[in-house]
Structure 1
Amino acid sequence: MFLFVSFYLLLSLSLFLFLFTGIFLTIGCEYFLEFSVLTLNSASLSFIMLFDWLSLLFSSFVLFISSMILKYTKEYMFGDKNLKRFVVLMLLFIFSMLMMIFSPNLISILLGWDGLGLVSYALVVYYQNIKSYNAGMLTALSNRVGDAALLMSVAWMMSLGTWNLSIVSIFQENKIMVYITSFIILAAITKSAQIPFSSWLPAAMAAPTPVSSLVHSSTLVTAGVYLLIRASEGFSPLMMTFLLYLSLLTMFMAGLGANFEFDLKKIIALSTLSQLGMMIIIICMGSIKLAIFHLLIHALFKALLFMCAGAIIHNLGNHQDIRFMGGIPYFMPLTCVCMNISNFALCGLPFLSGFYSKDLIAEFLSFNLPGVFVYSLFFVSVGLTVSYSIRLSYYLFWGDLNLLSLSSFSDNNNKIMLKGMMGLVILVIIKGSVLSWVLLDTPLFLSMPVSMKWMTIFMILFGTLLGYETSQMKLSYAAKSLKFIVFSSFSANMWNLPILSTFGLNLYFLNMGKSGFKSIDSGWLEYYGSKNLFLNLKLLTQISQKLSKNHIKILMFTSLALVLSLSLFI
């Protein structure tokens, strides 16, 4: 009953906010709600809520996707003893994201930001096994770096007398803004898992699939991109260039790694990482509306992709290795249709929703050519997106039946899950064209040579060929990737970032913290600080109490002792 009420509440709220988005876009207005909390050193600490077309549109997408995932959860998590607790955690997660979306103030953003980090840890460790605990700790520690950076930017903004992100462009000439924007960028790249913080994103796949679907589509990882969109006016060109190369390398690394991965959920997670890189690239190129466009479209097809993957895993007895799959359309035709539609949208196939944003992004980058290196690497990364999508489709749909014994699965087993998926599949088909009419004031027409216009289609075909060549579409060990085992291992391990994050950086800092805690906090500071001070005060208090209670006796004894000593001396 609780799940049913939550589903209808989120769905109705989503439709209500989407209606208001249309009104706000038509009128072109923004509303601020400001609640003053306290004034400190001439800086007013206030809770601000900003209602504009961006916050209303994004929140309506978050709520709609969340409602479909809650519908999906009803069957996926059926029989779970703590289902109500799971749903409450999901609702807290959504509430934290909404708080972040509607807040242009760094203080209130920090509340939603920390809420996302805390609840994501609780959801990643939900299954309570060693793998979940390790993944949860890696997620929490990586995100704490971003939380600390956001706290530092809050401290630096104190000197400006405001924490409002919407007016950072006014202080662009101020030297302090260099530090503030640096910390905001650090916070954003940790949350959106850009290099060198990429390793936590595939590790977070230890969470239940409904959580993965929510996290990788419209919450948590998109929080960093959303923060960059809100604060992008205050960034210097040098920072934008640095962020461009960082996100470009992330996009390439994730696309390459997905071609060597065999875990179904991790392939889709690396795909998310690649798309996040693409969004940040287009922010750095200066087209904010195009980044928002792709952010919203990506949320739809990525949520659907995870839901389809979850349905397949659920029916396969929780097996996630794509080598154990094949011939699934014979048993689950509807699920496979949904998955193929979302996969084609990810590839940017005309005229699905992904095409409208990805094609524009590719042409916009060609139009504002930043350099041969950026141009080449970006289009190769676009090709790699198609490559791992074709590879995934082969293993799941076109390959030979390679299931385990006694596997019994059908679309009839997941009728409620299909209802959640059907709610998204229609939007994945039509929403791209609808948003292109709504968001873009005039149709974007970019005039460039024919060869550059054809570049996107050419790279899609190149990616298809690359996907074929990488794995040679064989389930045996004769795959071409095994002939270059060093390169394959390096790419599959995400350029050794998980090793650096766990055994290198995190382990070093944790050990340093442990030794510091033992020698300083529990050692010298205890000796010269509170504990030793307390013991000395206690001893002096006891002596003074004895003196005050027994002063007559002590006086008599001391005087007697003095007389005796004097007599002996005489």
Structure 2
Amino acid sequence: MNKKFSICFVSFFFLFLFMLINFIGVIYFLMNNMIIFMEWELISFNSMSIVMSLLLDWMSLLFMMFVSLISSSVIYYSKSYMSSEVNLNRFILLVLMFILSMVLLIISPNIISILLGWDGLGLVSYCLVIYYQNLKSYNAGMLTALMNRIGDVFILMIISWMLNYGSWNYVFYLDFMSNDYEMKIISFMIIIAAMTKSAQIPFSSWLPAAMAAPTPVSALVHSSTLVTAGVYLLIRFNNLLIEFWGLKVLLLLSGLTMFMAGISANYEFDLKKIIALSTLSQLGLMMSILSMGLPELAFYHLLTHAMFKALLFMCAGVIIHLMNDNQDIRFMGGMSSYIPLTSLCMNISNLALCGIPFLAGFYSKDLILEMVMMSNLNMLVFYLYYFSTGLTMFYTIRLLMYLMINDFNLIVIYNLYDEDYVMLKSMFMLLFMSVITGSVLSWLIFSYPYMIYLSLNLKLMVIYVSVIGGLFGYLFSIMGFYSVNKFLFVYELSMFLSLMWFMPNLSTYGLNYKFLNFSYKLIKYIDMGWMELYSGQGMFSIMKNYSIFNSFIQMNNLKIYLFSFILWMMFLFFLVVVIN
């Protein structure tokens, strides 16, 4: 058993060490206002050289620190969560490949190395989503891979467009090329690529489907790695995107994503999918604040969100384990009495998600909403932001009611215990970070404190919206609120809202099925049909027959053949004459 778990401990130790090194680096770089740009030559041949480049600044080091902290917690947690797994080492190695791809993406100032990290994330995420190897996992994995391939294709097109510039190091072009026509095309492609990775409308359907992966993977994917890659890319390219019309479209789509995910989470009964939809909602918030031209604020929320979201998934994993692998929240209840420590972690991470004062989410979320209040945007965007904030409180209180307060509904004989100290240690590490991250980062990232002066009612608007959302969440989770529940559970309406505005159906049966069916026919009739007959194999057999005939003639066999043919004909003629 010790041998089996050794890879967990070694991975945890090195990732934690890497986190500490990054933390020291962040402090040093911020104090000295440093940026390190490193290049080394891999291959040099005549006038051609292939160069690997790295960009180290406070942002990349801080993000790497958070990724390594969360992934070290997740790997330590996996030691217990995946203890019955036969191929645990394979699982840990896949997770390490995933983290390595993310680190490569973070430190890349070069669009080629970004593609390596980007594609690595897509490929390894497919392997992790199909890890349990059943039909549901395969379908979810294929949907995830195909959606992410769209972004990969756009990055490949960016690489081909940037051949015009002489270098793929995009950092050199961001400031002085923003008005260039070709850079506008590159900006558009970057936005589409980021939308696919960060699951904005119309690419949202893969994110809840990716819940088929093991829970430690979900904790890693939905906090600091796969889904945040698109946001991080846009933060890096932000100077290029200022005054680009595509950002206005992105603002609308990300606002709608936030709103749609908040509503869908209120109709969902799968524990992991509720948390996944809350991730989608927060990604919409990050993307929308980014498209308003505030990249530092988006990065700030990305980091604070990473902490409590990883913790939320870990708590969900513990509860699912104890519930005999059941994920339906209607069968849960009274958890706070049986598993108080896990319930403590779950409640604090949920409250941080809601933006309750002085937890991690409050600092970034409150600042974002006050900046929205200060900006000169229209009423639709204002409404989407505040309504989505209320919906966050709505589904959180509903979830807490179902998990902590309602009656336990699963089986008479149950075995709920809170003594898995490996899981608890990893969760308490993130719990501590979920409490202090917001304040610490506000001192680190912003060189001066943001003080936003608003009227009292506008200042308290966030609290008003949160209280109303929480009240509705409470009322809707106790089934005494019949009249409204009857209205909300009208079949057509609930079908539309719970199925993410029919987006999974459109992407699965509509786009993917049609395209896959079309490509199947192309392969069948073109590649394996006409092309097989007239190129490749077909051409080979035709040329082979011609060359055999040609060599037959060249070897002077034709004369012998003709002479023997004439002799045979004469012999047959002689026979016919004799018989007659």
Q: What is the one-letter code of the residue matched to 1:531?
A: Q
SS at 1:46 equivalent: strand
Structure 2: give runs of 5+ residues left out of the alignment.
1-5, 571-580
Percent of pairs with identical residues = 51
Q: Provide the rounded CA distance (Å) in 1 between the counterparts of 2:74 and 2:447.
A: 32
CA distance in 1, matches of 2:531, 2:158: 30
Contact 2:184 2:244 in 1 (8 A): no
- From 306, 312, 316, give the equivalent of 2:313: 306
| C-alpha deviation, 1:449, in angstroms | 2.3
C-alpha separation in 2, matches of 1:476 and 1:457 = 27
Aligned-partner SS, 1:50 = strand
Q: Give the corresponding residue for 2:408.
A: 401
Work out whether residues 471 and 480 of structure 1, in 8 Å CA contact, stay in contact via their aligned partners in 2. Answer: no
Q: What is residue 91 of structure 1 aligned with on the other side?
A: 96
Q: Give the CA deviation at 1:557.
A: 1.6
Shift of 1:482: 4.9
The two structures have a TM-score, normalised by structure 1, of 0.95
2: CA distance between counterparts of 1:264 and 1:215? 16
Q: Which residue pairs with 1:28 in the alignment?
A: 33
- Aligned residue in 2 for 1:159: 164
Q: Which amino acid aligns with 1:431?
A: T
Partner of 2:3: none
User: Does the Cα contact within 8 Å between 2:308 and 2:434 map onto a contact in 1?
Assistant: yes
How many equivalent pairs are there?
Answer: 566
CA distance in 1, matches of 2:427, 2:448: 32
Q: Equivalences for 1:287-436 in 2 at 5 Å? A: 287-412=294-419, 414-436=420-442
- Contact persistence 1:472–1:479 (CA under 8 A): no
The equivalent residue for 1:80 is: 85
Query: In the TM superposition, what whole-angstrom CA distance separates every residue of 1:181-211 from its partner, at most 9, and x where no partner exists?
Result: 1111111111100001101000000110000
Aligned equivalents of 2:46, 2:250: Cα separation in 1: 34
CA contact (8 A) 2:315 2:427 kept: yes
Counterpart AA for 1:116: L
Cα distance in structure 2, aligned partners of 1:40 and 1:494? 53
TM-score by length of 2: 0.93
Aligned to 1:172: 178
Which one of 103, 107, 111 corresponds to residue 108 of structure 2?
Answer: 103
2:491 is aligned to 485
DSSP 3-state at the match of 2:512: helix
Aligned residue for 1:509?
A: 515
| 1:554 partner SS | helix
- C-alpha distance in structure 1 between counterparts of 2:528 and 2:328, whole Å: 47
Q: Decide whether the 8 Å contact of 2:401 with 2:477 is kept in 1.
A: no
Answer whether contact 2:222 2:279 (CA < 8 A) is retained.
yes
- 1:216 and 1:43, CA in 2 relative to 1: closer, same or farther beyond 3 A? farther
SS of the counterpart of 2:38? Answer: strand
Q: Residue 265 in 1 paired to residue 272 in 2?
A: yes
Tell me, yes or no, if structure 1 residue 244 matches structure 2 residue 274: no
| Bigger mean CA deviation after superposition, 167-176 or 372-381 | 167-176
Specify the alignment match of 1:567 in structure 2.
Answer: none
Aligned-pair distance for 1:542?
1.2
Note the C-alpha offset of 1:471. Answer: 4.1
Q: Match of 1:14, as an amino acid?
A: M
Q: Are the counterparts in 1 of residues 151 and 197 from structure 2 also a CA contact under 8 Å?
A: yes
Asked if the contact 1:65–1:424 (Cα under 8 Å) also holds between the matched residues in 2, the reply is: yes
1:432-475 Cα offsets, whole Å, 9 max, x none, are 11111111111101122222111111111121133234444569
Measure, in 2, the Cα distance between the counterparts of 1:254 and 1:42: 52
Cα distance, 1:558–1:176 mapped onto 2, change above 3 Å: farther
CA contact (8 A) 2:475 2:481 kept: no
Give the letter for the 2:438 counterpart. G
Matches of 2:450 and 2:250, distance apart in 1: 25
Which stretch shows the higher mean deviation, 427-436 or 36-45?
Answer: 36-45
For residues 108 and 73 of structure 1, do their structure 2 counterparts lie closer, same or farther at Cα, with a shift above 3 Å needed?
same
CA distance in 1 between counterparts of 2:554 and 2:349 reads 84
- Which residue of 497, 508, 522 corresponds with 2:503? 497
**Matched residue, 2:575:** none
CA distance in 2, matches of 1:215, 1:343: 18
Change (3 A) 1:556 1:525: closer
Give per-residue Cα distances to partners, 1:528-547, cap 9 Å, x unaligned.
Answer: 22222111110012112323
Match of 1:51 among 49, 56, 59: 56
Structure 2 counterpart of 1:149, one-letter code: F
More deviation, 44-53/416-425? 44-53
Aligned-residue RMSD, C-alpha: 2.4
